[in-house]
Amino acid sequence: MNEPTNVFVQATAGDSLIAATGNGQTWAAAGIEVSWTDPDILVSATRDISRVALRWDQPMAPEVLVLGDAWERSYGDLQWRHLQPERLLPWYWLAHDRQSGSTTGMGVDVHPAAFCSWTVDLGGVTLWLDLRNGGGPTRLGGRSLVAASVRRFEDAGTPWLTLGAAIESMSSRLPARPEPVPVVGANNWYYAYGEGFDEKAVLQDAATVVELADGHPIKPFSVVDDGWNPGGNASGGPWESGISGIFDDMAGTAAAVKELGARPGLWFRPLLSRESGPWQRTGQTDGFGRALDPSYPEVLDLVRADLHRFRDWGYELVKHDFSTYDIFGRFAPAMGARLTDDGWQLHDTTRTTAEIVLAFYREIRAAAGDVVLIGCNTVGHLAAGLVDIQRTGDDTSGRDWERTRKMGVNSLAFRLPQHNRLFTLDADCVPCTPQTPWELNRQFLDLVARSGSALFVSIDPAARTERTDRDLSDGIRLTLNGGDGVEGGIEPLDWLVNSTPNVWRAGDGEVRYDWSRLWGADPAAG
């Protein structure tokens, strides 16, 4: 791979980028040294460091369409788009030349030590390495850091095949994991929304999903989502017991779910506490508790103890949520190039935020043992191989179909090549509720089931009919059998021009979905 054309460095957030000087292999400026040992970018500094930018001059055709990824979940915003020089493209980019039909790109391998993004313009591409600690500089103290390993993607025949090959090439650092098993489960969030449910409702969900799986040898999960612990929705720990009088015996609930033939799962928010303590993230509260700083060893001890407790209770799946928000104080749409507010830092200022987040994920993986992990609001490029299942899109909805269309279909269409390469993909639940039209939800169910990705269903007992049960059972069994089963899986055929594709390849044929058949997409829905 060609070495970068130019390199720039930034010591502190308030400084301008400084052009570094070098010989094509090593560049230096202001006490910061950057080395290119193809494909690795090594960074060392005897002073504070915030960012490094590497530029490759390579002209782009004006008519190219460009695609990138997302910092954590996507928010209905993934799409091929015309050249937009200021558009930030996390982790990787692809450019499709509409005249030649060729698709090429670049990216970084999983588990980098920096938050890596790209910008693409007519003259070339720039890789931006955010090496900060929180909202301030990192103090490497002369330490040499492999900030990222760069991969270049050649055309693999079609944009879809090129994206799949690109994901594969960025997976060289993945730890060995068992062969993935199809994932199906019940999740009560999109009809209960954390309120008014108890152990009886949880057991009803478990019985329902077991009934719909119809004796399949792979057991479905039944997940107790947010709302089981004291403190209300989205609250923090301690995670030592359930709500008094409602979930008095969490181990007993898990045992009862198993008795019904399902595998019990549990939601928690590892980096938020309702109690004051010495290990809080500077300046970060959200009304539900105080964020914990994962660079403190004591915080990792707490999280390990939580995972061990859940295992001892008998839960076979744990969904850990909100950690990106609790560290950065923002969800992905507000992160942009800044990621977080300036001026604060994590306790251990000698490591980059990316290093600290990656270490946090590794601690959770080790503590979980053979428990199946779902990462939600986790950074996919860092969580790859350290979660079994990754929520790749923002929430679908049991109240507003338009949100399911925007978030769920978009996430599945543009991130499906990550499935079974980085993790099992979860485009979020298929709701079955009185507030949303089953004629549309059942299409989303069909698409998720054909993809073979994780299928979680949120079934309001009031919405069950012979028709919904038949459709849900068909979708669950199709997923448990591995999806459509066609070579190469399903593929969106109109994804170059449609952010929620309607036309999909399945085997030698096509499947068409009408996401707006009952009404047009509502712009007011966001």
The answer to whether residue 128 is domain-embedded is: yes
State residue 487's pLDDT score.
58
DSSP 372-413: EEEESS--HHHHTTT-SEEE-B----SS-HHHIIIIIIHHHH
What does the CA dihedral 103, 109, 113, 118 come to, rounded to 10 degrees?
0
The answer to whether residue 181 is domain-embedded is: no
If you average pLDDT over residues 71-91, what whole number do you get?
Answer: 98
Q: Side chain identity at 371, as an amino acid letter? A: V
Give the separation between CA 158 and CA 94, rounded to whole angstroms: 12
Among 127, 149, 169, the domain boundary falls at: 169
Residue from 6, 4, 49, 126 nearest 354 by CA: 49
What share of the chain in percent tops pLDDT 70? 97
Residue from 410, 385, 413 nearest 395 by CA: 410
Q: Side chain identity at 302, as an amino acid letter? A: L
Give the separation between CA 27 and CA 328, rounded to whole angstroms: 31
The answer to whether residue 509 is domain-embedded is: no
What share of the chain in percent tops pLDDT 90? 89
- Asked if the model's pLDDT at residue 126 lies above 80, the reply is yes
The answer to whether residue 496 is domain-embedded is: no
State residue 519's pLDDT score.
54
The answer to whether residue 180 is domain-embedded is: no
If you average pLDDT over residues 455-468, what whole number do you get?
Answer: 98
- Asked if the model's pLDDT at residue 355 lies above 80, the reply is yes
The answer to whether residue 495 is domain-embedded is: no
Domain co-membership, 217 together with 153: no
Q: Which residue has the tokens 């749409």?
A: 333
Strand partners, 153: 105
State residue 269's pLDDT score.
97
- Asked if the model's pLDDT at residue 139 lies above 60, the reply is yes
Domain co-membership, 60 together with 132: yes
Q: Which residue has the tokens 């338009």?
A: 402
State residue 107's pLDDT score.
98
State residue 516's pLDDT score.
87
Give the separation between CA 280 and CA 276, rounded to whole angstroms: 8
486 — pLDDT class (breaks 50, 70, 90) = low
Domain co-membership, 333 together with 456: yes
The CA-to-CA distance between both ends of the chain, in Å, stands at 42
Give the separation between CA 146 and CA 130, rounded to whole angstroms: 13
State residue 521's pLDDT score.
52
- Asked if the model's pLDDT at residue 301 lies above 80, the reply is yes
Residue pair 371/317 in contact by the 8 Å Cβ criterion: yes
What burial class does residue 297 get, using C-beta atoms within 10 Å of its C-beta: 0-12 exposed, 13-18 middle, 19+ buried? exposed
| pLDDT tens for each residue of 312-328 | 999 999 999 999 999 99
User: Into how many domains does the chain fold?
Assistant: 2
Domain co-membership, 31 together with 105: yes
If you average pLDDT over residues 232-259, what whole number do you get?
Answer: 95
Domain co-membership, 341 together with 231: yes
The answer to whether residue 460 is domain-embedded is: yes
Domain co-membership, 263 together with 371: yes
If you average pLDDT over residues 393-417, what whole number do you get?
Answer: 98
Domain co-membership, 458 together with 325: yes
The answer to whether residue 502 is domain-embedded is: no
Domain co-membership, 233 together with 350: yes
- Asked if the model's pLDDT at residue 63 lies above 80, the reply is yes
Task: Tell me what the pLDDT averaged over the chain comes to.
Answer: 95
DSSP 300-328: HHHHHHHHHHHHHHT-SEEEE--HHHHHH
- Asked if the model's pLDDT at residue 526 lies above 50, the reply is no
CATH code of the domain covering residue 232: 3.20.20.70
Residue 249 sits in which domain range? Answer: 197-484
Domain co-membership, 254 together with 154: no
